[in-house]
Amino acid sequence: MFTPVTGRTVLVTGGTKGIGKGIAGVFARAGANVVVVGRDRERGEGTAEELGAAYVSADVGRAEDCERMAAEAVERFGGIDVLCANAGVFPDAKLEDMTEADIDAIFATNVKGTMLSVKACLAELERSGHGRVILTSSITGPITGYPGWSHYGATKAAQLGFLRTAAIELAAKGITINAVMPGNIETEGLDELGPEYRQKMESSIPQRKLGKVEDIGYAALFFASDEAAYITGQTIVVDGGQVLPESMMALEAV
């Protein structure tokens, strides 16, 4: 039996849509106080209303925004128990076309944004006595590759490099930090890649379907639980078996 997260305060960056909204919804339905963070105010306020959450407008690539987001969560709910550092972008560019600005922009949100979010919430996570950080990484980068996403893959692998040293530092503060590595999950962002991408992707997954945002939310909820207190610096792949086949032939054989 898992101890309920009722009354705990959970900050979800990128919680205004997609996977982050799924994570926020899972925690909200579990009785947590949820704060969703994103840059688009209209969307953020709409999501917050839908989920019964609070909304803070912030760009995680900016230190002052991250500090304000943490301060507003504390002002609203009195502390922070769980940070889901989920905000991320995935524009595509082949290496020969990629500009320096493309590389800076994706690292600013996915890597710097992850680190600044964690840093801004540290004191409150320590004060909670059972602080939890859950990163949203990806299979792309740490395990797999995909043409057009070399910069993206680099950022998702970088998050895991950060995770392993942060886990050692944060252990002394009673905080765990772990990462969920999603495969292909049904989101508005993924929809923008078009129906052909979706169809081909489904056929390369052993379960023959994309994941749901809640699938990532439940993995995050597990890492946030009291029962996961002795797990830190670890990752969990949530991908319907996508990384398993060693070739397309392995899938065609069933």
Smallest gap from residue 119 Cβ to ligand NAP (A):
15
CB contact at 8 A, 179 and 134: yes
DSSP 149: -
Active-site pick, 146, 152, 197, 218: 152
Residue among 130 and 157 whose Cβ is closer to ligand NAP: 157
Residue among 225 and 242 whose Cβ is closer to ligand NAP: 242
Smallest gap from residue 1 Cβ to ligand NAP (A):
30
Tokens of 37: 């963070």
Smallest gap from residue 109 Cβ to ligand NAP (A):
4
Smallest gap from residue 198 Cβ to ligand NAP (A):
10
Residue among 38 and 131 whose Cβ is closer to ligand NAP: 38
- For 12, the 3-state DSSP assignment is strand
Residue by residue, what is the 3-state secondary structure of 30-89?
CCCEEEEEECCHHHHHHHHHHHCCEEEECCCCCHHHHHHHHHHHHHHHCCCCEEEECCCC
The CA distance from 23 to 240, in Å, is 18
Residue among 19 and 253 whose Cβ is closer to ligand NAP: 19
The number of angstroms, rounded, from the C-alpha of 241 to the middle of its chain's C-alpha atoms is 19
The CA distance from 181 to 237, in Å, is 5
Residue among 130 and 160 whose Cβ is closer to ligand NAP: 160
Contacting residues toward ligand NAP, per CB under 6 A = 13-14, 16-20, 37-40, 43, 58-61, 86-90, 109, 113, 136, 138, 182, 184-185, 187-190
DSSP string, 14-37: TTTSHHHHHHHHHHHHTT-EEEEE
Which residue type does 37 have?
V
For the question of residue 152 being annotated catalytic, the response is yes
Task: List beta partners, residue 38.
Answer: 57
Pseudo-torsion of CA 149, 209, 24, 180, nearest 10°?
-50
Residue owning tokens 């610096």: 233
From edge to edge, which strands make up the β-sheet containing 9-13?
Answer: 54-57, 33-38, 9-13, 82-85, 132-136, 176-182, 235-238
Smallest gap from residue 100 Cβ to ligand NAP (A):
18
Residue among 87 and 236 whose Cβ is closer to ligand NAP: 87
Smallest gap from residue 64 Cβ to ligand NAP (A):
13
Active site positions, annotated: 152
